[in-house]
Amino acid sequence: MLNPSVEPGEVVAMEVPPGVNRLTLKRGNQTLSTSEVDATGRVLVTAPNELGNYGVYFGNSEKQERMLHVNAPVKESELVYTTEQPALSAWKRLPVEGKESVEKEKESLPEGIRRLIFQQKYWWWLLLVGGLALVAEMVCLIWRKGKAHV
């Protein structure tokens, strides 16, 4: 049985049933590697460099016999707690304690962000004016239709 945590490029020794002379590693229909079986019934397979699941085929068979799972190295999953990082301090917000601190926070925003916030108000007004224009158009059409039937 294969180790489920094979890393990219790792060499894996596999045992195959008697009478098998070749082992093929495939992803979908694409053959990635073919390895010859030695006299002891073992074969060395080099794991592909891409992460994913790969089918293991014996001899010329089209039947998948095993799976080879190539996972990221274990060290990439080791998370270590650090007390302070530069990026973390940039994300922290000061507590709001009154109107003065809100004004200070507003003034501390970069000019580009303040301009974008200001422009957002215009979008709401444009949406409102557009909606009113559509309602006015609808009222005019209803009024014209009513006059045409009289």
pLDDT at 60: 84
CA 134 to CA 141: how far, in whole Å?
11
| Average pLDDT per consecutive 10 residues, the chain (150 residues; last block may be shorter) | 72 88 90 89 90 90 89 79 68 61 62 68 85 96 81
State which residues form the domain around 143. Answer: 100-149
pLDDT at 94: 59
pLDDT at 57: 92
Rg (CA), the chain: 34
Write down the residue that tokens 């309602």 correspond to. Answer: 135
- On whether residue 2 sits in a domain, the answer given is no
Count of the separate structural domains present in the chain:
2
pLDDT at 133: 97
The phi, psi pair for 82, rounded to 5°, reads -120, 145
The phi, psi pair for 66, rounded to 5°, reads -145, 175
Alpha helices in the chain (DSSP H): 86-91, 99-108, 111-149
Residue 41 is part of a domain; what is its CATH number? 2.60.40
List the structure tokens of 82.
Answer: 């650090």
- On whether residue 28 sits in a domain, the answer given is yes
